[in-house]
Amino acid sequence: MNRFHDYIGFAVRFLGIGYVALWPLTAPDGGFAALDLSSLCVRPFGLVGALCHLSPALHLSPGLHLIGTISAGSVLTGLALRPVRRWRRKRASAADIARLDIEARLKLVRRPPPPTPPPPRRYVQPRSQFGLRGAPHAS
């Protein structure tokens, strides 16, 4: 199940980042114009100028736009929540260390019993022949 979750996560991240990269080429009214970044398109130069006057070269169906937008949103949400997850993880590990320290001070920590040794191996003599022993041979 972990592998399935990893594969789905990879696919969503791949689609989201790919959609963000291809979005200026697929937006119905030209990439930057759809965001109303007209201040960038006043005196366009270089790559920004090329993107401002770009007609959509790729036409995607509304369903593909929806899937791309959802996956891009999930990628951006995951990136925004990454510091929160790190903070919660540090806080949880600090709480675990404190709990173990308190248990050790109160001597509530019990050591597990030592593992029992495995039984001794039985000696088996090597075979002198292989196959069907004692069966008559067909000639």
Q: For 88-107, what is the mean pLDDT?
A: 74
Query: What percentage of the chain reaches a pLDDT higher than 70?
Result: 60
Domain boundaries, the chain: 2-105
pTM over the 0.85 mark? no
> Which pLDDT belongs to residue 11?
93
Place of tokens 């997850």: 85
35 band by pLDDT with thresholds 50, 70 and 90: low
Which letter does DSSP use for residue 38 in this model? T
DSSP string, 98-130: HHHHHHHHTT-PPPPPPPPPPPPPPP-PPPS--
Q: For 123-139, what is the mean pLDDT?
A: 71
Q: For 41-54, what is the mean pLDDT?
A: 60
pLDDT of 10 strictly over 90 = yes
Q: How far apart are CA 87 and CA 53, in angstroms?
A: 43
Q: Which of 20-24, 47-51, 108-112 has the largest mean confidence?
A: 20-24
pLDDT of 123 strictly over 60 = yes
Query: Pick the residue with more confidence: 99 or 73?
Result: 73
Q: How far is CA 99 from CA 96, 104, 110, in A?
A: 5, 9, 14
Closest CA to 71 of 138, 132, 133, 19: 19
> Which pLDDT belongs to residue 98?
74
Tell me which H or E stretch contains 59.
none
Query: Pick the residue with more confidence: 75 or 131?
Result: 75
71 C-beta neighbours (distance < 10 Å), count: 20
